[in-house]
Structure 1
Amino acid sequence: MSAPSDPPALQRRLGLTDAVFIGLGSMMGAGVFAAFAPAAAAAGAGLLVGLVLAAIVAFCNATASAQLAAAYPTSGGTYAYGRAELGPWWGFIAGWSFVIGKLASCAAMALTFAAYAAPPGWERPVGILAVIALVTVNCLGVTRTAQLTRIIVVAVLLTLAVVVAAGIAAPDHVGFAAPDLLRSGVYGILQSAGLLFFAFAGYARIATMGEEVRDPARTIPRAIVLALLLAITVYAVIAVTVLTVLGPAATAASPAPLADVAAASGWGWTQPVVRVGAAAASLGALLALIAGIGRTTLAMAREDDLPRFLSAVHPRRNVPVRAEVAIGLIVVVAVAVTDLRGAIGFSSFGVLLYYFVANLAAWRQRAPHRRYPRTLQILGVIGCAVLVVTLPPTAVVIGTAVVLLGVGYRFIRLRILRARAG
């Protein structure tokens, strides 16, 4: 009698360029078109200081993720790394925080797309249709995901170049003064950094797809750092442009600050271009987010931290179809009921906890796996903790409750599994 065949596995089809584009696709839509307004509401012009702080914390987290991904080239990202270096409970907290935070990010990206692409009153139905369409794309295979993400990223970068040109050409610049950078105080600046961190979390998509990258020990660390540095550069240029043209108050009040910058130039053709670019950026982020959550869900289901049926991989397309369909259903519900700005705060809460665990896990690694000094991981742990507690209070309260709900779920599930085994 022949032995049963191994279950279908994910395939290593992505190179360095694919991985960088997937990271950029996640970051471009998340931050440029969604995070500047709430960050300006928290800190005014001080969002520039917040952007620097968020970038520093993101760099520490990125180096931790790169070091861990080189040692553990598997699906699941910090869920897998936390289990290996710190134990199953730490891994679960990281994975659960990632999933809940990124489900909120998916809803935020779908709503951002609809705000630019849908006629008034049709935002939620259009956002729901976008989620269904992109879940379908992801289920067709990871190479299609990478190809579409590359097209979207190029379109977004061209759009942002138009925004910068329009800002330079605008006849009136409200601007801001140097003292404005600190006017909101330390708490406001830290809160803006926590909200802007939402924009930098896309490099995690690369690490969560560790089973699908060729030569992962070399490719993943390079792709993570390259994607992050490119994103930091773009965000800095756009942030200065928006604040210079609109000023802090108008930036905070605007639902679409980049479109307002385009309008200030007087070039009539720029607003439609920015709307199309914003819609494309949001779709790119949503596409990569669904892929990343699917891989983490797959890894958690393999370890019985989520229902085992979610671990199925399609035998021909080599993607975790059940996990991605389940994610799509949850995001559809979230799009129907959630608020964009609240989703950003909740997402930041979950993702900062995720990277808190990543930095702890990387700090535990020993030679020959170490690639970066432990000082970066210590700074990352402190930075994540500080930014979490300075997020908007509602996000902190709801986020804490949902994390505790996940802990309770795992505790009960472990007791059931042990009772069955005994």
Structure 2
Amino acid sequence: MTAAPQPELARRLTTTDAVVVGLSAMIGAGVFVVFAPAAAEAGSWLFAALALAALVALCNATSTAQLAIAFPTSGGAYVFGRRMLGPTWGFLAGWGFVVGKTASCAAMALTFASYAVPAGGWWARLVAVAAVVALTVANLRGVTRTARVASVLLVMSLVTLVLVLVVGWAGLAGDRPAVTPLPSGDLRGVLMAAGLLFFAFAGYARIATLAEEVRRPQMIGRAVLVALTTAIVLYVAVGATLVALLGDRLPRVSAPVAEAVAAAGAGWATPVVRVGAAAAALGALLALLAGVSRTALAMARERDLPGWFAAVDEQHRVPHHAQLVIGAVLVVLVLTTDLRGVIGFSSFGVLVYYSVANASAWRQPAEERRWPRAVQVVGLLGCLVLAFSLPLTSVLAGCAVLALGVLGRSLLRR
């Protein structure tokens, strides 16, 4: 008996749309969240950790792009792992992505609330819930609307970052008290900080998970590299500004970009920066929601998740069941978790995902290759080293959730 054909997503995204979705995910996560905890671990070696995270991300990006061109369908490394390594490896990648990126969604919703409601408390959590609900509805309206909203939010984020850089370096050029430099770091701190900073670079995965909706899949490689290179340049510039203005205060502040503007003597710009930071977090959340739901769709198609998740809305051509469940889970998470606690857990899951991606790319035949195998070896080793250099609680929790997922899959398939 021939199985009924699976409903397909519509190819509506241009290459520019794909770059925007990836940039929105990276910029919101990186600039406004991870510099403070990364500085707490790496100290004066912060930029060594940033360089290491960027190197691993670049290797992962080339592997992901090479695979997405060969397999232009939703699911990213979940599909790649299944095709090149086997169903179990594909499941580990997909489960790691869904769990890790759901945690990232919670982090972005809480980041939005922390900038939008400086006083914090339960009002901030309720605002985070409202953001999750609103962007879940936006994703349900179709992927082109997702890209358009992401474009607006990305422009707001970029304008804010330019303002921060101009105001920050203008303040450095004037008379101001000297700051105490960051304390010395060590190799362990660099590795841990690089693992945390990797959380910021992982936005290019959104491009690969949307491969079934990109009009020209062969351009995915260009979209990934453009988004990643742009993000690296921004991270270096903003990181240098934060270190120069805040020094050893950087690890202790909850809103480092806003604190840096105030330290530059431009208090008038603080509300503007808070609005821009909130917009960046919303852009990242929007892109993350799209990527997680597409991976859940791909896993349901292969019976690694219940088949109910494979439903595609006939009008808007989006995986509406998966999107609704993810939105509901996020509401629970933003009401029960804190911002910094989910970053390490998210990084562990995503590093597992990219480990499978690099191993899959290494197995590709010569006619599908665009980069040498050495790149995938560096990416795979880098992912494993960074994953197991994260805080022990993150590693143990990540391993436990992966094991739970494997057990659940076994029961489901029986």
Report the TM-score when normalising by structure 1.
Answer: 0.94
Hey, what does 1:115 align to over in structure 2? 114
CA positional deviation for 1:172: 2.7
CA positional deviation for 1:8: 3.6
CA positional deviation for 1:268: 2.9
Hey, what does 1:222 align to over in structure 2? 222
Q: Deviations over 1:130-149 (max 9, x none)?
A: 00100000000000000011
Report the TM-score when normalising by structure 2.
Answer: 0.96
Hey, what does 1:156 align to over in structure 2? 157
Contact 1:172 1:245 in 2 (8 A): no
Q: Which runs of 5+ in 1 are unaligned?
A: 417-422
CA positional deviation for 1:173: 6.3
CA positional deviation for 1:175: 5.4
Hey, what does 1:208 align to over in structure 2? 209
Sequence identity percentage? 55
Contact 1:166 1:264 in 2 (8 A): no
Q: Deviations over 1:4-54 (max 9, x none)?
A: 985542100111110000000000000100000110111112111100000
Hey, what does 1:244 align to over in structure 2? 244
Give the AA of the match of 2:55. I
Evaluate the alpha carbon distance shift between residue 7 and residue 95 of structure 1 in structure 2; reply closer, same or farther with a 3 A threshold. closer
3-state SS in 2 of match to 1:184: coil
> For residues 355 and 238 of structure 1, what CA distance do their matches in structure 2 show?
26
Give the AA of the match of 2:176. D
Hey, what does 1:79 align to over in structure 2? 78
Hey, what does 2:376 align to over in structure 1? 377
Of 338-347 and 49-58, more deviation after overlay is shown by: 338-347
Of 280-289 and 257-266, more deviation after overlay is shown by: 257-266
Contact 1:191 1:390 in 2 (8 A): yes
Hey, what does 2:405 align to over in structure 1? 406
Whether 1:340 aligns to 2:334 is no
Give the AA of the match of 2:134. A
Hey, what does 2:192 align to over in structure 1? 191
Give the AA of the match of 1:314. D
> For residues 313 and 21 of structure 1, what CA distance do their matches in structure 2 show?
24
Hey, what does 2:358 align to over in structure 1? 359
Evaluate the alpha carbon distance shift between residue 383 and residue 346 of structure 1 in structure 2; reply closer, same or farther with a 3 A threshold. same
Within 5 A, what are the aligned runs for 1:37-76?
Answer: 37-76=36-75
> For residues 299 and 4 of structure 1, what CA distance do their matches in structure 2 show?
16
Contact 1:101 1:350 in 2 (8 A): yes
Hey, what does 1:17 align to over in structure 2? 16
Q: Which ranges of 4 or more aligned residues in structure 1 deviate by more than 3 Å?
A: 3-8, 173-177
Q: Supply the RMSD in Å over aligned alpha carbons.
A: 1.5
Hey, what does 1:134 align to over in structure 2? 135
Contact 1:242 1:261 in 2 (8 A): yes
Within 5 A, what are the aligned runs for 1:187-336?
Answer: 187-216=188-217, 218-247=218-247, 249-336=248-335
Whether 1:172 aligns to 2:176 is yes
Q: Deviations over 1:378-411 (max 9, x none)?
A: 0001100100111011111111111111011112
3-state SS in 1 of match to 2:340: helix
3-state SS in 2 of match to 1:35: helix
Q: Deviations over 1:113-155 (max 9, x none)?
A: 0001125321111101100100000000000000011111111
Hey, what does 1:420 align to over in structure 2? none
Q: Deviations over 1:268-305 (max 9, x none)?
A: 32101110011000000000000000000000000000
> For residues 392 and 152 of structure 2, what CA distance do their matches in structure 1 show?
38
> For residues 69 and 271 of structure 1, what CA distance do their matches in structure 2 show?
41
Evaluate the alpha carbon distance shift between residue 204 and residue 406 of structure 1 in structure 2; reply closer, same or farther with a 3 A threshold. same
> For residues 362 and 177 of structure 2, what CA distance do their matches in structure 1 show?
46
3-state SS in 2 of match to 1:34: helix
3-state SS in 1 of match to 2:62: helix
Q: Which runs of 5+ in 2 are unaligned?
A: none
Contact 1:15 1:219 in 2 (8 A): no
Hey, what does 1:419 align to over in structure 2? none
Contact 2:10 2:213 in 1 (8 A): yes
Give the AA of the match of 2:238. I
Give the AA of the match of 1:391. L
> For residues 261 and 37 of structure 1, what CA distance do their matches in structure 2 show?
12
> For residues 75 and 4 of structure 2, what CA distance do their matches in structure 1 show?
24
Contact 1:110 1:282 in 2 (8 A): yes
> For residues 410 and 321 of structure 2, what CA distance do their matches in structure 1 show?
24
